[in-house]
Amino acid sequence: MASHNASGHNEEHHAEGMYVPFTSQREVVNDLVTKHDKISDKWLSGVAAAGFLLVLGVIGFVMRVNDGVSDRMVWAYYAMMFSFILTTASAAPMVAIAPRLANAHWRRPVSRVAELWSAAGIFSLLLFIPMLWILPPLTDGRRSLWFYNSDDPFFSKVPVYSPHIWTTAALLSLAALGIMLLWLSAMPDLALMREHSTGWKQKWSARLSGRWIGTTEQWNMLHHRMGIVGALYFMMLVFVHYLVSTDFLMTLVPGWIDSLYPLTHAANSLQAGVATVILTMFFLRKFGGYEDYFTLDQFWAMSKLLFALSLLWFWFWFSSFNVFWYGKKPSEQAVLKYLMVGSYQPAFMAGFILSFVTPLLVMMWNRVRKSFWGPTIMSVAVLAGTFFDRLRLYVAAWSYPGVGDYRVDKHEIPFDSIPAANMPGVPDVLIVLGVIGGAVLFYLLAARLIPPVSIWEQKELMLYKLHKAYHRTEVLVLGKPR
Amino acid sequence: MIPGDFQVKKPTSKQLAIFGTLGVVGLGSFVAIALGLTWIVSAWLGMPVIFAHDQGPTQPIAFPHPTHVQDLGLDCTFCHRNVTEGAAATIPSAGLCLTCHQVVGDGLEQIENMREQVADDRPIDWVRVHRVPDHVHFVHEAHIRRFSGVKTVVEEWTDPNEQAGEIRLGEALRIDPSVSVGQTMEIAEAQVCSVCHGDVGSMATVEQVRPLKMGDCVDCHRDNGAPTDCTTCHY
Amino acid sequence: MAENKWGMIVDIDKCIGCQACVVACQSENNIPINEEGHFNQRRAIEWIRIERYWEGEFPNVRARFVPVFCQQCDDAPCEPVCPVYATYHNSEGLNVQVYNRCIGTRFCANNCPYQARFFNFWEPEWPESLKNQLNPDVTVRSRGIMEKCTFCIQRIRRSTREAAKDGQEVEDGDRGMSPACVNACPTHALTFGNLDDSDSAISKQSKEELKQPAGSRPGGRGYHMLEHLGTHPNVVYLKKVDKTAEEHEVHG
Amino acid sequence: MQEHVQLSQKKINDDLLAGVLGMPKWWLGAVGFLLLVIATGIGAYGYEINKGLGVTGLNRPVLWGFYITNFVFWIGISHAGIMISAILRLTQAEWRRPVTRVAEVMTIFSLMAALSNIMFHVGRPWRLFWVYPYDFSRGLFMNIRSPFVWDPSAVMTYLIGSTLFVYVALIPDIAVVRDRATGKFAPKIYGMLCLGWRGTPRQWKLQAIAGILLSALVLPVFVSVHSIVSWDFAVAIGVEGWHSTIFAPYFIIGAIHSGVSAVAMIMALAMWMWKLDNYLRPDHFDAIGRLLIVVATTWFFFFFVEWIFALYTLESPELALRELQVFQAPYMWLFLAFLLTSFFIPVPMWLFKSVRRSPGLMFLSTILVNIGMWLERFLIIIPGLARRQPLQFDWGSYHPSIVEILVVAETFAFVALGMLLFSKFFPIIPIFDMKEGMQVREEIKIGRRIVPASIRETP
């Protein structure tokens, strides 16, 4: 990128490079507030499309409800979509939290994009409600991490619905923390909107922004709280993945005792979260009119993250695969056969190729990473890969017929035969589409309420960067507080 | 050194004394480490040395193989009788020697010695020339059985002593002076021996001509389709 | 030559726990004498051992015996972990231990669920009087290497060779071809033979005894030790026939 | 930042080369003492080779003991080097500058120590080379299915990679030493080692590229090494407590925990011994302390998950093992000590800024962590083997013999000696990096607040 002159920004270069080509904070505020105040046709059509998909999903859901809740198998795709939203949308705010804690400047326009996804966390909460009926209680012969075991005098006192209770509590707190994070980080922007916007927006932002006037004390408090809420969100996210992957997956398949899997589930979700944010960034750049903010630097930095997390995908997968495969225990081999090479092999291969092989081969080139189309296409691949990976795990686990096999023998029971794959029916397809549409709808609506690019973080960047002559060249001086 | 860049203070005598003591300690430790390493090396070297691949040893009685094999035409199996029967080829007992030497060879010093030893009931301390380690079970019988009667083409003889190389089956046949190169011959029992032992019949002192290391065995096994499973020899 | 797959049947019903097999093995295979000190150090070497399980309360105590030795597993957990191929599966279905290749990482012993592998912590020693009774057909193992039951492979080798000399193929029990423990067992609790030879006594018996119960008909008495680990042993155990035996299988 | 000390280039040279060109009083003494420890260790090892492994406390079924524990420990320590320097270099964290070399050098010596532990461990070390592919005449190859073949390959790759990594970063500093060294041979030797470094722009560029490339390439190796070490245990089905899929990441995070702690520990030592107060500032300890909180908590979560799943299996051998670890002496006490030292004492300490900024307290807490992490490996390996499991006919425990203790002490002395020797012959804080840091360091005034900043090239 060409060097900046101290006198003003250069119109020709503003599309690329790291730092937004505005010289004064006022310019930034004006730009962002106007952009946000305008209701564009693209946004409206997006809402319409997402709403249509959601309606389809509701139709699919109603069709499923007719099948009743006693047969877990018909709900397999629903469970998978719940996990998919949890994996993508709920993990996306991590992209705001981690770089903010690491004080990386490139994250400034990205963090709000990521945080807004916690609005979709509410949607995942809605999705979870029916699952409370579908999930088998512990009396079904299934074990839980809460050690339900009827022989044992202590653990037999554990409530039969304890997994439900734990998971509900964790999901609620995750959603609450997400909203709290969003609200906290939006507070200075809401205050700005209070000052600069008009109409209902001003009213609503006035109510939400509290008494924010931007005193040093308030700022310090804000940073402090965002740090704590962010850390808590991360912990809760890991915990939710831990609960979901054990109670929704492992306890349903006999012999599947893979201690790494909860962490794999969480790590995969971070990867999918990054992909979600990249894709959102792309849409905001392309259709939202924010091309000044989502520049090559954001895409570059995010694609590095995506690349690293794709490598991590393989490492986590291989770590558990190697132990199961090498050990040759029949029970573990049966699990591998069921989940990887058996009925769900195509889904596994699709997940493996899209989540790991393609990102590895494509994103190892810096030219791809440092572009707009490269990371975007790769995030689509990663999201599709995550979709297939979740499909083969959740659908497989929920379609496994005999949960009760677990009860007697302390040794894991190998499968006698590998059940066939559970193919999606029409309601399942509708549910898949509807859930995706619903999450997008929630996002679009939330983006209407709160600016999708954080204004105060842009302003802050203005303070921390400085162009300065240095010997015969000009350099950028970047401040790092703390 | 750039002048004034930094200064190294001169040590006081007290410091010198401390340094001296510590230096001695350090030096002593070096010596100790050297000794320790020597000990480790000696432990390695102390492992039984197996392969005696050099000059043939002097035997208590200078048994002339050429006289018996080349001049008298005795077969290897005449004396090493177990070679077609069992694992070990066996050194003949002195009794076997005496079947002839009771009457043959009066006045020859070596034979007198031998008779004397037998008379005194003293065993003859033959020095073993060919030896494989304890964990190798070489069975003479199986090898002789495998190769005797095999038809092969006689090859040019290469002196194993010069080349320290291998003797191939076809070469072994050249020990028989009556055959010529290129002719197809059937291998006799005694000729199989020379594949590994060389032309012992012409050796005044017997020496090892083939390395008899594992690679040598394995090559031959592979060439002849013999099993190369470890437990063929090691158990 | 017919394929061989050596196997063993252990009839627990016949085992009286006399330890004759242990002694026979010890002397056949040049295993150092296990003195008290070795046991106290917990470094004794027993290629075959009699596991003893007590049942019942004091006056009515009953002992059960299970001879345990290397199960010559087809999917042996010890094999893949050896870095130098000192243990591997050979073409005769034996899980062999190559002493001179072993470097003594002891990984195989850790990974053996049957506890059938032993490490030479010391250089073996015998009293002077016993040195001449060492078996020349068996390697004397030095310190620092693993060892275990070989199914008396030296006997298998000798018998096959002798049979080949006569132009024949070796059969069960032919030319003394049985491990020392089998020969020594006074109650014939141990049977050795070729599992791949459909005519051999052992293959018939193991097929019969391993039969799964079908319908109302009971299955055989046979089972593999620690079957759930999927090691596919070549040793078949036959349950004790008395009524209480079912309660006490040698599962973990 | 207030505590930041701006130093002139001359001052940096003087301070950082003082140890190399001069000789502190304690140096010979320390070296002598360490050599003595090493000598006894080697003597003990010689005794072990001569007599056999019977001289150790190993027995059936505890066939792996102190040596393997120590091996895993040192591999763990070695991880911090690359972790700190490669990751921080790639993310351009400013505080890395004085820390990187300590960490990298520690990697090299602890890897050597780890490799030597394999040698101590095996029954016939003189045949150890068989795990490398050499033996073609016999038609024998090593068994590539064995984790014990993956191990040395990965460790050797890591050792070579990290040596190169250190060396590349060392070249400009060697050149500085070359220009200042006196005597007959020293300048010549340094001259050869610095590969004709003249500090031309091209050379700097190449050096920077090499450094970044090596960082990126060494990182996957770093992950693979400890994963493989964990698979020594996890892939085996013979030992209940080991067969767990979480082992690879769990070992990695544990390694980072112990390794970063060791870096902090050595930083404090280096600061005291070589008087580097101007370079290793409280905020370096602060940064490491904050990193450690994150690492330790993550590690603890992995530990927790591992335990939960062990109990979740409800298998009797697994439960018996956990009972042995937690409720039976002596493991009970070791377990308690392990929990306290590796997590429950240090982490609350680090939560306080005053602790993080005090080298003395950081030294203390990180020593605790390392004791705890050594115990962690011990508690994974030994009770796992000593458990009561099916067909286990020998019950008992394991007590290390004096030989093992001496040999283990030797590895510690070896690493310490290596660090001492290195810091005597090469600057232990990268001179060029420090100077660069001084150059790019800036401050930005925002209102009344002054924020530390650094100079970047205009993108």
Predicted confidence at residue A82, as pLDDT, reads 92
Q: In this structure, what CATH number is given to the domain that contains residue D301?
A: 1.20.1630.10
d(CA B128, nearest CA chain C) in Å: 17
Q: How far apart are CA A200 and CA C199, in angstroms?
A: 93
Residue D277 lies in a domain: yes
Residue B32 lies in a domain: no
**Interface predicted TM-score of the whole assembly (ipTM), two decimals:** 0.85
Lowest-pLDDT range, A6-15, A88-97, D126-135?
A6-15
Sole residue written with tokens 């240095």: A470
As a whole-number percent, the residues of chain D with pLDDT over 70 amount to: 97
Predicted confidence at residue C173, as pLDDT, reads 64
**B148-177: per-residue pLDDT in tens?**
888 888 887 776 656 556 677 777 777 777
Q: How far apart are CA D38 and CA D43, in angstroms?
A: 8
> Positive or negative CA dihedral for D236, D241, D247, D252?
negative
With a cut of 50, list the residues of chain C below it in pLDDT: 1, 245, 249-252
What is the Cα gyration radius of chain A?
Answer: 24
For residue A9, name the pLDDT band (cuts at 50, 70, 90): very low
Is any Cβ of chain C less than 8 angstroms from the Cβ of A326?
A: yes
> Positive or negative CA dihedral for D323, D326, D330, D334?
positive
pLDDT above 50 (res D215)? yes
Do B47 and D126 make contact, defined as CB atoms within 8 angstroms? Answer: yes
The counts of H helices and E strands in chain A are 19, 2
**CA-closest candidate to residue A307, choices A284, A334, A274, A331:** A274
Domain extent for B200: 133-232
Residue D227 lies in a domain: yes
Phi-psi region of A289 (alpha: psi -120 to 50; beta: other; left: phi over 0): left
Lowest-pLDDT range, A119-128, A218-227, C164-173?
C164-173
Predicted confidence at residue B191, as pLDDT, reads 82
Beta bridge partners of C65: C52
DSSP string, D180-208: H--SSSHHHHHHHHTTT----HHHHHHHH
**CA-closest candidate to residue A86, choices A241, A275, A294:** A241
B46: number of Cβ within 10 Å: 11
Q: How far apart are CA C39 and CA A414, in angstroms?
A: 39
Predicted confidence at residue A403, as pLDDT, reads 56
The structure tokens listed for D86 are 């490669």
**Distant-in-sequence, close-in-space partners of B77: CB < 8 Å, separation ≥ 6:** B83, B84, B189, B190
Predicted confidence at residue A147, as pLDDT, reads 59
DSSP annotation of B159: -
Counting the structural domains of chain B, the total is 1
Query: How many CA atoms, within 13 angstroms, populate the side-chain half-sphere of residue D143?
Result: 21
The mean pLDDT value for B207-227 works out to: 82
Do B218 and D137 make contact, defined as CB atoms within 8 angstroms? Answer: yes
The mean pLDDT value for A52-61 works out to: 92
Nearest-CB residue to B231 (from C85, C90, C164): C90
pLDDT above 60 (res B7)? no
d(CA C102, nearest CA chain B) in Å: 12
Domain extent for D321: 11-130+147-430
Predicted confidence at residue A442, as pLDDT, reads 92
d(CA D412, nearest CA chain A) in Å: 31
Residue B108 lies in a domain: no
**D253-277: per-residue pLDDT in tens?**
999 999 999 999 998 998 888 888 8
Residue D6 lies in a domain: no
Residue B171 lies in a domain: yes
Strands C235-238 and C6-11: parallel
Do D453 and A326 make contact, defined as CB atoms within 8 angstroms? Answer: no
DSSP annotation of B64: -
- Chain centroid, CA C209 distance in Å: 19
Is any Cβ of chain C less than 8 angstroms from the Cβ of A328?
A: yes
The mean pLDDT value for A68-78 works out to: 82
Predicted confidence at residue A342, as pLDDT, reads 80
Residue D224 lies in a domain: yes
**D50-96: per-residue pLDDT in tens?**
888 999 999 888 899 999 999 999 999 988 778 888 888 777 777 88
Q: Is the bond preceding D61 in cis, omega lying within 30 degrees of 0?
A: yes
Predicted confidence at residue D311, as pLDDT, reads 82
Predicted confidence at residue A1, as pLDDT, reads 35
pLDDT above 80 (res B144)? yes
Do C90 and B139 make contact, defined as CB atoms within 8 angstroms? Answer: no
Q: How far apart are CA A102 and CA A119, in angstroms?
A: 24
**CA-closest candidate to residue A208, choices A460, A451, A24:** A451
Chain D partners within 8 Å of A324 (Cβ): 245
The structure tokens listed for D326 are 């937690």
Is any Cβ of chain D less than 8 angstroms from the Cβ of A262?
A: yes
pLDDT above 50 (res D352)? yes
| Count of residues making up chain C | 252
The structure tokens listed for D109 are 């010596």
C6-246 classified as CATH 3.30.2130.10: no
**CA-closest candidate to residue B146, choices B88, B224, B232, B222:** B224
For residue A232, name the pLDDT band (cuts at 50, 70, 90): very high
Q: Which residues of D touch A (CB under 8 A)?
A: 91, 94, 220, 223, 227, 231, 234-237, 243-249, 301-302, 305-306, 308-316, 442, 444, 446, 451-459
Higher pLDDT, B39 or A278: A278
Sole residue written with tokens 């593999």: C224
N- to C-terminal Cα separation, chain D: 25
Which of C99, C145, C155 to mutate to test binding with chain B, by most B CBs within 10 Å of its CB?
C99
**B10-26: per-residue pLDDT in tens?**
667 777 777 778 778 88
Do C115 and D148 make contact, defined as CB atoms within 8 angstroms? Answer: no
Q: How far apart are CA C118 and CA D54, in angstroms?
A: 13
Chain D partners within 8 Å of A260 (Cβ): 244-246, 248-249
As a whole-number percent, the residues of chain D with pLDDT over 90 amount to: 34
**D377-396: per-residue pLDDT in tens?**
999 999 888 876 777 777 77
Predicted confidence at residue D34, as pLDDT, reads 92
Predicted confidence at residue B47, as pLDDT, reads 52
What's the CA angle centered on D302, arms D300 and D304, to 5 degrees? Answer: 70
Predicted confidence at residue D344, as pLDDT, reads 93
Nearest-CB residue to A330 (from C77, C80, C230): C230
The counts of H helices and E strands in chain B are 10, 2
Q: How far apart are CA D427 and CA D411, in angstroms?
A: 23
Q: Is B121 helix (H, G, I), strand (E, B) or coil?
A: coil
Chain C partners within 8 Å of D63 (Cβ): 106, 109-110, 119
Counting the structural domains of chain D, the total is 1
Is any Cβ of chain C less than 8 angstroms from the Cβ of D239?
A: yes
pLDDT above 50 (res A107)? yes
Beta bridge partners of D449: D446
Residue B142 lies in a domain: yes
Do D53 and C82 make contact, defined as CB atoms within 8 angstroms? Answer: no
